[in-house]
Amino acid sequence: MNLNAGKLHKSSRYRAGFTLIELLVVISIIATLMSLILPAVQNARAAARRTECLNNMRNVGLAIHANAAKRHDRIPAYGRFTPILPPGITNPTPHEISCAPLGGVNWVVDCLGELDRQDIFDRWNMTAPVSDPGNKTLGQISLPVLTCPDDESAFQQPGGLSYVINSGYADISKIRAYSAAIAGGGPPSESQMHNFTAIPADWDEDSVVSGGPTAPFSDPDDEAITKATGLSWVQVRQKNMSQRMSTIYDGLSNTLMLAENVNAGSSGTWSNPSPANCTFVYPIVSADVDGSTFSDPPLPPEYSGMPNDNLYGGEGIPTPSSNHPGVVNFVMADGSARTISENIDRRTYIRLVTPAGTKLRWTGFVPEDPVSGSDF
């Protein structure tokens, strides 16, 4: 009889595997390690997406600078409208031009060449309305440089847009009227456009406002002051009303040019000139402002004007927002990209939005006619 056989059988029976306690200890150690590692991995991925977003925004900012350089230093208009003349008219009269319907594109279309997509720009029909099917198809070509990887509503659709241009103080009722006109299939009238010439703000307190219901319908003083609150304004026909780089008096490094907005691109194309689609603004109640409230104007009830405060308000809200926790990415007018806290001081933020926001600038200081620009 082999005595060693029994010993081997007994020994193998006691080395069969882990005990239940040992297994639970191993599982608890793995779970602890996972709980420590996963947040670090998630934070690293979030930081990578935020960095990718900043890089995209830098490239878009450089494209705007290059585009402005060929426009004699003038920033591209957020929306550019050109007359659609009847067939056969080659030398239109001023009256025919002023009465013609308008086709429209936004600042992204004007910067396509600088974004290395001249091929798309060359195929664009500038004499077609905003709703033109061919142009809409072009505006739905996927351009990853225009979208933040954390903006699911943008990068998951072909015409997504995450980045918007600074268009200053805004009367929200004008933006709503503008959006409604475009949604109805036709361009808005000039009185409906978001522009400093149509915002009825009486900054100089002389009881005369621009865009008001009674004559004289304009106030150059108020227009000049309102223009000083934003960079990119509308272009109607050949008048690009935007700022020049040289008229950013607070300094290029102290003025916001681009912002993230996860609620942008509401039209489903990056080309639509509606300000709700392609701009960010600081909303004001124009009827309640005056010279004393320039640095912190009254707000509509549903707005705070601050970054991320309207993050969950739905598509088409033209204020900065992002899905990066607690921050929003911006590009300054000098082309640098920065991350700004959603808890930034209100007055500091307003001064960053406005290119002449350190003080109220009355007429006489502004060195150019606010509606005289013709670079396009």
Burial 114-153 (b: 16+ CB within 10 A, else e): bbebeebbeebeeebbbbbeebbebbbeebebbbbbbbeb
Q: Average of pLDDT values for 120-127?
A: 92
Q: Which range among 61-65, 136-140, 159-163, 354-358 shows the weakest confidence by mean pLDDT?
A: 354-358
Higher per-residue pLDDT: 212 or 78: 78
pTM of the predicted structure, to 2 decimals? 0.83
Give every CB contact of residue 189 below 8 A, 6+ residues apart in sequence.
181
For the cut 50, the answer to whether the pLDDT of residue 365 exceeds it is no
Q: Average of pLDDT values for 81-92?
A: 76
Q: Average of pLDDT values for 217-245?
A: 90
**Domain presence at residue 10:** no
Q: Average of pLDDT values for 309-323?
A: 92
Q: Average of pLDDT values for 55-73?
A: 95
Query: Looking at residue 87, what is its pLDDT?
Result: 75
Q: Average of pLDDT values for 61-88?
A: 89
For the cut 60, the answer to whether the pLDDT of residue 363 exceeds it is no
Q: Can you tell me the distance from the alpha carbon of 102 to that of 84, in angstroms, rounded to the nearest whole number?
A: 5
* Band of residue 103 on the pLDDT scale cut at 50, 70, 90: confident
Residues found in the chain: 376
Main-chain phi, psi angles of 16, to 5 degrees: -70, -30
Across 89-98, 117-126, 129-138, which has the greatest mean pLDDT? 117-126
Q: Average of pLDDT values for 229-245?
A: 91
**Do residues 206 and 219 lie in contact, with contact meaning Cβ atoms separated by under 8 Å?**
yes
For the cut 80, the answer to whether the pLDDT of residue 132 exceeds it is yes
**Domain presence at residue 58:** yes
Letter for the amino acid at 40? A
**Domain presence at residue 266:** yes
CA-closest candidate to residue 194, choices 219, 216, 169: 169
Query: Looking at residue 213, what is its pLDDT?
Result: 62
> What pLDDT digit, counting tens, does each position of 261-302 carry?
999 988 899 999 989 999 999 999 999 999 889 989 999 998
**Do residues 67 and 151 lie in contact, with contact meaning Cβ atoms separated by under 8 Å?**
no
Higher per-residue pLDDT: 37 or 327: 327
Give bridge partners of residue 165 from the DSSP assignment. 258, 279
Give every CB contact of residue 254 below 8 A, 6+ residues apart in sequence.
332, 351, 352
Query: Looking at residue 371, what is its pLDDT?
Result: 44
* Band of residue 7 on the pLDDT scale cut at 50, 70, 90: low
**Domain presence at residue 63:** yes
Q: Average of pLDDT values for 165-178?
A: 90
Q: Which range among 94-98, 100-104, 243-247, 270-274 shows the weakest confidence by mean pLDDT?
A: 94-98
Q: Which range among 174-178, 252-256, 324-328 shows the weakest confidence by mean pLDDT?
A: 174-178
**Domain presence at residue 267:** yes
**Do residues 142 and 158 lie in contact, with contact meaning Cβ atoms separated by under 8 Å?**
yes
**Domain presence at residue 330:** yes
Q: For strand 235-236 and strand 256-260, is the pairing parallel, antiparallel, or unpaired?
A: unpaired
Query: In total, how many domains does the chain have?
Result: 1
Structural domain for 166, as ranges: 49-353
Q: What is the largest CA-CA distance in the chain?
A: 122
Query: Looking at residue 3, what is its pLDDT?
Result: 53
**Domain presence at residue 314:** yes
Query: Looking at residue 99, what is its pLDDT?
Result: 66
Query: Looking at residue 174, what is its pLDDT?
Result: 84
For the cut 90, the answer to whether the pLDDT of residue 350 exceeds it is yes
Letter for the amino acid at 180? A
**Domain presence at residue 65:** yes
